[in-house]
Structure 1
Amino acid sequence: MYLTRIEERILSGEYGEAKQLALKTIVKVGEALGAERLIPIKHAHVSGISYGTIGDHGLALLEDLVEKGAQVSVPTTVNPIGFDSEDPYLLSTVGVRVDEGFVRGQLRIIKALKAMGAKATLTCTPYYLPDTRSLSPGDHVSWGESSAILYGNTVIGVRTNREGGPLALMSAIAGRTYYWGLHLDEYRTPRVGFKLESPEPLDEVMAGLLGKIVSERYVGLRPPYVKARLRDELAVKEMLAAIGAAGSLAMIHLEGVTKPPIDEGRLESVEEVDWRELRDLYEEHRPSWRPDIVFLGCPHSRAEDLARLAKQLADKPAPRSKIVVTMSRYEYSRFRREYPDYYNVLEKKAVVVRDTCLIVAPLRGENGSPKIVTNSYKAYFYLSRKGLQVGLSTIEDMAQLIYQ
């Protein structure tokens, strides 16, 4: 691999042991993949920081990096943790069991990341933060978190491979990543497509299920082209999150969203997705039972999403199901500021939690565990694998389930 003079000096240890270790890790991964050089990055997003995910071994790595003097070289944001940082036991009423050892371990993780200069944003939607507004199409970044990676590549047009949390952190420290895969033009051009003709634009649940179909059927290094009518931003976000959960893709070329546009006629093949198949799949996932928990916010909710939910609940009595909403602190502040009436509704009828998500919180399926309805296929994918009974419903249909 070709290295610049500065990179050679980093590898020799002139910039400290931590930066040397970080760059050595990136070089080894790049060489294994056949990368010819490294590329500077403008931003990093570190995933996998819940204590329930990385445990004591991950914590030890982070604290070792701090002892070695590690500092991030670019603006760096981080993923959700296992609880609301200001109220660790807020979700105890819905089956999330957080003990004191978990809290101590999680807070040490956050302390270590902050010591390295990372910003404790604690959200899986860094693309909604002011921190990323300066990013432009073509900018190279190193992001963990599958849904954020897909959104960044597909919607914003930044360039990142599907990095794990540790490698994204190493890139943040080194300020570089390996120049391979989706950092290159040739790997961002689709050859194969999927096309869905639907009688109406897809809501967030239907879009998520289409993402599941695409992710499970497509195999290849280049992103597939996807042509479908999606209802709104929430549908786009949930489709991309579903694709990331159900498979290994890091990007799609979404017609009307991803730029530059491509000529569909130049694709080697296009598979028609049957609308009836998608509709039947929706019926399979739609619950016939009243949920114990209605969960919104995977990936983290925007203020606009919560306004839609509050609108459905505004003139209703106290819900018969518990409503859990997860979001970033940034969007929480924006919700309070821009939608004060709807905020007052949800404050009374829902548990609004920041910094975490049910899929990274210590919630486990067991006898008597809660039945959950969500509008997110990603949440369905991970929560059902924890042994929980999960169903899918749009925001608009949730109110009917809660009061049935």
Structure 2
Amino acid sequence: MSVHIDIAGLRPERTAVVLSPLAELGMALHALSEPAHHPGLQGWVTGVTARLDPHLADRMCEADFLWRSTFSDLFLPCAGLPGRIALPGATLGEELDLLDKLSDEQFVDAALEFTCAVGYGECGPTALTDPQVRRRALELAAARGPQQVRFSERLLADPPRIRAWLRQFLQDCDEAFFAEAWSRLSHQLAADARHKTELLRRKGLAEALAAVSPAVTLEEAAGRITVDKLGEGRTATGDGGLLLVPTSLGWPHLMVLHRHDWQPVLHYPVGTHGLAAPASVEQLALRMTALSHPVRMRICRHLARSAYTTGELAQAHGVTAPEISRHLAVLKKAGLITTRRRGRYVMHQLDVTVVARLGSEFLEGILR
């Protein structure tokens, strides 16, 4: 399983390694919402959380579906601009100006990417224009609780108001904690960008991609980039460009923006962090046995990013709910997933802290 980027006709000068303060802010929000995904950032997360204004913390929860699972493409708005050759802004303010340039349809479609029924990377009707897609989006939002339903309803009813709300929220986050973090992290990211740019200039795209991640390869004969992920997708640069965007806060996530008609982006982590060893040989054997089934591996990919109901998993994997239940029972017996009730829905989620003990390679694979 992998994501493919068709680069036929891509001109060398249209591949750029660039920094994005807005994308890094998105990763910061993700790490604060899902600290178990980022064991190497526990100290930073604890420090920020301890001094966070309660009102800002409440607002952070209000729309956390934009960054909790991974993070929304809204944090890379330059990719959605016409021509597909735009670069991120040099400052957070410039990038928020780019976010304002997205159409309401683009904004709503990207904001609902984790709850809307239209498949990611596909061209189809949006929840803003199609009543059936709108109903399905709200049904899926209902499984996430009343807070997400309320936010989704406001988003669909008045996109400009939500856009203004999001911009103000991001500016407040910058003032509260991100500006300090960016002033520290941007130096490392700039050094990495210079290194990758030099590789591009001297040795070509294949060498630069190899330096991004071993999971990224260039198939020159086929004219495509392949990113090894537990997911499938396809996009093309067309007559646009390709962006490589480094992140200091993003490990182990290697993300590919492959939304239809947007500029492709590889958002890759700089540096890695150590993880703890397995608690016991018996537990390790039980958990690895539970994970040996390919369907359970794919289920883990979903549950690592967000909580899902049995019915949602069945629909996503094209199998029956009883079959999904049997796989969930195996994972639960091994202590790999947690279950909680939210209203009339039972939600399942991967215990990333436990999975981390299986080793960094497995964790990186399912969160990549």
Fold in common (TM above 0.5): no
Task: Give me the TM-score of the superposition, normalised by structure 2.
Answer: 0.32
Higher normalized helix content (fraction of residues): 2
Q: Which has the higher contact order (CA 8 A, sep 6+)?
A: 2
